[in-house]
A and B are shown apart, each in its own frame.
Chain A
């Protein structure tokens, strides 16, 4: 079980909550589980079944691109941060 921090840009897709839990041994499994429970997240996170290039995922504060990508292991109690780019400043 991992805790997933939902960024404000994606909260509309999950009923407004800031954090969700999902199961899986790797980042790919956890995201699959998450999208299965909240299908509206699918188009926001995935492109052709893969993690979309404009979404960053951090496990334990580290970018999975510097770990093992979506194959990065997720341990029980890990926290995942989904971080899409946001440009607002005004």
Chain B
């Protein structure tokens, strides 16, 4: 009976091997072979050859046909020093793989030569548990969860829409949430603004939201902007590299400011608005679909602006619309599914109906059209004041 050394020597004589220098040449060639890493998970997590696929030696035979269905595909198998992968290469040949070579010297020799190494970002044990229901969805998985953790979303408004949106984005692990709101928590907010609480009355909304959100998920960092969005500060705030904006503002001047700024900064906006029993929700994606001004070129006259009329809202309505906004935001971050760009959803809570209308990009749009007529911020001030003064 052969001992380990004899067995290893025999296996190595039966397979093909290449040096790490040759492997590196093949790695950079146009039709590079697939590198298969057969080490232990912790070794993989500390760094691996760029583009390699991972399957531990223990489950290699079980998993490889799923990973590499084409048995004629050239493979370079490696472990840390070339011994485990020698056995792996032999096993692959026995499974019918036609072009398998072992990386002699393994990953250690690859690193010694100073060749590129990828250090994978891995979820912690706590994160694996927290996001397990995401990890189970093929459309999210570990890559998607990393995207969410890397994502930066700016919420305009920490009110009715911003409450559910911030809670669900935080729960989903969106790593950075900017929240813009100048107000403090008022008793009349609590019928619907579920990110706040009775013990926060009088507290700035951005700080109350930060407290709730960071308690829900310590992976999330909230950047509070306790200010009203204006033409003075909009470039500074939007300039802090946000991937997208969730617009839950409560007035027309801010809506138009967010729109114009988002077009000029090239940031998609997930737009929601609510009134009594009815909500509207859509995505304005610069360069992809229409903007707010394609739909509503300019605000209505103040006396007809419903936002100023304090018309009331059913408490759960912002929960529904804000959650749809969170859904759109997550899809945009994950780059999955079809966004609401070009479609406006109308939700009627009384009839429980959902209608959809088409919103097209307007070539005559004053902001995103072919010949823009608006090229600097418009301050629609005195908007609501005009109503009170009437």
Binding site for B on A (CB under 8 A): 5, 7-9, 18, 43-44, 52-54, 56, 58, 61-63, 65-66, 81, 83-90
CB contacts (< 8 Å) of B160 on chain A: these are: 88-90
Q: Find out whether the CB atom of A89 lies under 8 angstroms from the CB atom of B273.
A: yes
Any chain A CB within 8 A of the CB of B8? no
What is the CB-to-nearest-CB distance from A73 to chain B, in angstroms, rounded to a whole number?
17
Tally B residues with Cβ within 8 Å of A. 49
Contact of B346 among A66, A81, A88 (CB under 8 A): A81
Q: Are B280 and A86 in contact (CB under 8 A)?
A: yes
- Docked complex Cα distance between A66 and B364 (Å): 12
CB-CB nearest 9 A-B residue pairs:
A90-B159, A90-B250, A87-B307, A54-B300, A89-B248, A9-B306, A85-B296, A8-B278, A8-B276
Indicate if the CB atoms of B249 and A87 lie closer than 8 Å.
yes
**B224 close to chain A: CB less than 8 A:** no
User: Which residue on chain A has the smallest CB distance to residue B272?
Assistant: A89
Contact A87 B305, beta carbon cutoff 8 Å: yes
> In the complex, what distance in Å separates the CA atom of A89 from the CA atom of B193?
10
Q: Say whether B298 contacts A89, CB under 8 Å.
A: no
Residues of chain A contacted by B358 (CB below 8 angstroms): 58, 61-63, 66
Is B173 an interface residue, CB under 8 A from the partner? no
List chain A residues, Cβ under 8 A from B274. Answer: 86, 88-89
What chain A residues lie within 8 Å of B87 (beta carbons)?
Answer: none
Picked from B159, B189, B306, the residue with its CB within 8 Å of the CB of A86 is B306
Please give, as numbers and ranges, the residues of chain A lying within 8 Å of B278 by CB-CB distance: 7-8, 86
Return chain B residues, CB-CB under 8 Å to A63: 357-360
Interface stretch of the complex, out of B71-79, B348-356, B371-379: B348-356
Q: Taking A54-B296, A88-B250, A90-B160 as contacts, is the C-beta distance between A5 and B355 under 8 angstroms? A: yes
Could you name 22 residue pairs across A and B whose Cβ atoms are closer than 8 Å?
A: A8-B275, A8-B311, A44-B304, A52-B300, A54-B296, A62-B357, A63-B357, A66-B358, A83-B357, A84-B300, A84-B304, A84-B306, A85-B300, A86-B274, A86-B307, A87-B249, A89-B157, A89-B248, A89-B273, A90-B159, A90-B193, A90-B250
Given contacts A90-B157, A90-B248, contact A54 B304 (CB under 8 A): yes
Write the chain B residue with the least CB distance to A7: B278
For B272, B299, B306, the residue with the greatest tally of chain A CB atoms inside 10 Å of its CB is B306
| Contact (Cβ within 8 A) A61 B356 | yes
Does any Cβ of A come within 8 Å of B175's Cβ? no
List of B residues within 8 angstroms of A58 by Cβ: 357-358
Q: Does B348 lie within 8 Å of A88, measured CB to CB?
A: no
Taking the closest CB of chain A, its distance from the CB of B166, in whole angstroms, is 13
**Cα distance A5–B160 when bound, in Å?**
25
Are A89 and B247 within 8 A (Cβ)?
Answer: yes
Q: Which residues of B contact A86 (CB under 8 A)?
A: 273-275, 278, 280, 306-307
